[in-house]
């Protein structure tokens, strides 16, 4: 897996203050478990994303630990409350220096 | 009395076996999309949820990337827009310069012939990405593979592969995907076998895969010797399957469980 990859965020771009918003974050990643064997009989080393976090204007609102049992290209769906206009930053970190960052902004009225 | 029962039983088996449906099945043709759960349908339909879109994005960058000794990109001849290949995937497999080519085969033909670069391996990320990028442009268009004087012989051979029993289990494609389509194999529903969504993101595979990978799956399932990737036999079988699905809309890149 390369050091970074494509990611996609789905969330509303505008919302009323106090409303619950649903956020979907998907990252391209093989999530190699470390339990599989290659054609040569050797273990394919583990290569997974192990941390996902989302911060809303610098405040962490969601965080998840990921494990080898999770499928490839993990999709994470979570909710938060629209408190103020600003930017949500999404970060994925994984084995072998993997890192991906994505951003999405929201206007709260 | 017993003997008569036995004979009647034997006859009923024979008549079941003889009930080989025709090429144009009497029951309505259905994409296996119809059998999927709402979640999986949503995953295919929403580009923000469909993991195959990552391959489409990779394919787009590869499309514009100059490679090979001739230092040309796909886009150098075919244009950059990402729309110029609209409708192309609906015509494959197709006779190109006298040879039956699958979409993957034609991509490699271009790579070797035009870019002077080594052919991409089947099921490699790059080949799947390019295939997904090209096929995705035909999403929603009907499959337009027809019988022509050129492809007649290959189509006939492809039909034979479909109806011929193979492997230690001695089963043909048709026995499951025509005669028993809609019934269950273990816990799974047997689809009619219309290749309308390839390359597919198969949840079981955890990755994108080609029609040939799927066909090899079935061949290993009936314990037959698998056709090689990129072989003429594969192309003929693909041709027959696409002809059998003619008129059905292409869903590429699809999601399947």
Summarised one tens digit per residue, pLDDT across range B131-146 is 999 999 999 999 999 9
* Domain CATH for B38: 1.10.760.10
Directed axis angle between helix B52-63 and helix B125-136, to 10°? 90
Find chain B residues with C-beta within 8 A of A1's C-beta.
none
pLDDT at B18: 38
DSSP SS3 for A1: coil
Statement: residue B83 has pLDDT above 90: no
Of the residues B51, B53, B60, B132, the best mutation for testing chain A's interface (the one with the most A CB atoms within 10 Å of its CB) is B51
Q: What is the helix (H) or strand (E) element at residue B240, kind and residue range? A: helix B232-244
Min mean pLDDT across A100-109, B76-85, B210-219 is at B76-85
Active-site residue set of B: 218
Percentage of chain B beyond pLDDT 90 is 83
pLDDT classification of B81: cutoffs 50, 70, 90:
confident
Find chain B residues with C-beta within 8 A of A9's C-beta.
48
Find chain B residues with C-beta within 8 A of A73's C-beta.
51, 54, 206
Cα distances (angstroms) measured from residue A108 to each of A83, B34, B181, B189: 7, 39, 51, 46
Percentage of chain B beyond pLDDT 70 is 89
Which strands make up the sheet holding B207-209, listed edge to edge?
Answer: B207-209, B200-202, B254-256
pLDDT at B21: 42
- Tell me the CA end-to-end span of chain B in Å, nearest whole number: 49
Statement: residue B235 has pLDDT above 60: yes
pLDDT tens for B103-114 read 999 999 999 999
Selecting from B51, B58, B206 the residue whose C-beta is nearest the C-beta of A26 gives: B51
pLDDT tens for A73-99 read 999 999 999 999 999 999 999 999 999
Statement: residue B22 has pLDDT above 60: no
pLDDT classification of A29: cutoffs 50, 70, 90:
very high
pLDDT tens for A32-60 read 999 999 989 999 999 999 999 999 999 99
Specify the residue for token string 């799927």: B214
SS (H, E, C) B17-37: HHCCCCCCCCCCCCCHHHHCC
Determine the distance in angstroms separating the CA of B133 from the nearest CA of chain A, rounded to an integer: 15
Task: Please state the length of chain B.
Answer: 257
Q: What is the pTM assigned to this prediction?
A: 0.86
Contact A1, A98 (CB under 8 A): yes
Range of the domain at B60: 30-257
How far apart CA B135 and CA B143 sit, in angstroms, is 11
| Beta-sheet pairing, A59-65 with A49-56 | antiparallel
pLDDT tens for B236-255 read 999 999 999 999 999 999 99
Residue B8 lies in a domain: no
pLDDT at A3: 78
Residue B16: other Cβ atoms inside 10 A: 9
pLDDT at B23: 53
For residue B96, what are its two tokens? 């190109």
Query: In the predicted model, what is the mean pLDDT of chain B?
Result: 89
pLDDT at B80: 82
pLDDT at B248: 94
How far apart CA B117 and CA B109 sit, in angstroms, is 10
Please state the domain extents for chain A.
Answer: 7-102
Task: Please classify residue B11 by burial: count the beta carbons closer than 10 Å to its beta carbon, then call 0-12 exposed, 13-18 middle and 19+ buried.
Answer: exposed
Contact B243, B192 (CB under 8 A): no
Write out residues 192-221 of B within 8 Å (CB-CB) of A: 203, 206-207
How far apart CA B116 and CA A15 sit, in angstroms, is 53
Cα distances (angstroms) measured from residue B56 to each of A61, B124, B129, B245: 31, 14, 6, 24
Q: What is the ipTM metric for this complex?
A: 0.86
For residue A96, what are its two tokens? 């072998």
Contact A99, A93 (CB under 8 A): yes
Contact B201, B135 (CB under 8 A): no
pLDDT tens for B176-223 read 999 999 999 988 899 999 999 999 999 999 999 999 999 999 999 999
pLDDT at B14: 42
* Side-chain half-sphere exposure of B44, counting CA atoms within 13 A: 29
Sign of the dihedral through C-alpha B8, B13, B16, B17: negative
Number of domains chain B is built from: 1
For residue B132, what are its two tokens? 């997904």
Query: In the predicted model, what is the mean pLDDT of chain A?
Result: 94
pLDDT tens for B155-184 read 999 999 999 999 999 999 999 999 999 999
Pick the CATH number of A7-102 from 3.30.360.10, 3.20.20.80, 3.40.50.150, 2.60.40.10: 2.60.40.10
Alpha helix segments (H runs only) across B46-124: 52-63, 74-78, 103-110
pLDDT at A1: 62
Residue B14 lies in a domain: no
pLDDT at B27: 67
Chain centre to alpha carbon of residue B247: 15
Return the ∠ at Cα A32 (arms to A31 and A36), rounded to 5°. 150
């Amino acid at each position: 897996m390369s050091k970074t990859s494509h990611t996609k965020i789905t969330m509303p771009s505008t919302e009323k203050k106090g409303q619950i918003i649903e956020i979907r974050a998907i990252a391209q990643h093989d999530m190699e478990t470390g339990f599989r064997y290659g054609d040569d009989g050797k273990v394919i080393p583990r290569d997974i994303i192990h941390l996902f976090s989302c911060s809303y204007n610098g405040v962490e609102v969601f965080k998840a630990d990921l494990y080898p049992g999770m499928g490839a290209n993990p999709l994470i769906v979570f909710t938060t409350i629209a408190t103020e206009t600003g930017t949500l930053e999404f970060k994925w970190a994984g084995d072998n220096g993997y890192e991906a960052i994505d951003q999405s902004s929201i206007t709260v009225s | 009395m017993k003997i008569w029962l036995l004979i009647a039983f034997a006859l009923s088996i024979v008549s079941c076996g003889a009930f080989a449906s025709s090429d144009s099945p009497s029951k309505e043709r259905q994409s296996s999309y119809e059998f999927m759960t709402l979640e999986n349908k949503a995953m295919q339909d929403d580009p923000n949820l469909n993991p195959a879109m990552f391959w489409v994005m990779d394919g787009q960058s590869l499309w514009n990337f100059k490679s090979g000794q001739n230092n040309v990109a796909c886009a150098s001849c075919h244009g950059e827009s990402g729309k110029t290949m609209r409708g192309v995937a609906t015509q494959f497999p197709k006779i190109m310069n006298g040879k039956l080519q699958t979409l993957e085969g034609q991509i490699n033909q271009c790579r070797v012939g035009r870019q002077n670069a080594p052919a991409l391996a089947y099921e490699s990320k790059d080949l799947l990405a390019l295939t997904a990028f090209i096929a995705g442009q035909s999403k929603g268009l009907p499959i337009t593979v027809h019988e022509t004087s050129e492809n007649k012989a290959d189509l006939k051979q492809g039909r034979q592969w479909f109806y011929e029993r193979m492997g230690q289990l001695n089963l043909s494609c048709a026995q499951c995907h025509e005669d028993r389509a809609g019934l269950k194999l273990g816990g799974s529903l047997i689809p009619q076998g219309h290749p309308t969504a390839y390359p597919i993101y198969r949840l079981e595979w955890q990755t994108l895969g080609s029609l040939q990978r799927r066909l090899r799956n079935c061949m290993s399932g009936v314990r037959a010797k698998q056709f090689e990737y990129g072989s003429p036999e594969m192309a003929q079988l693909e041709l027959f399957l696409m002809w059998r699905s003619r008129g059905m809309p292409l869903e590429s890149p699809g999601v399947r469980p």
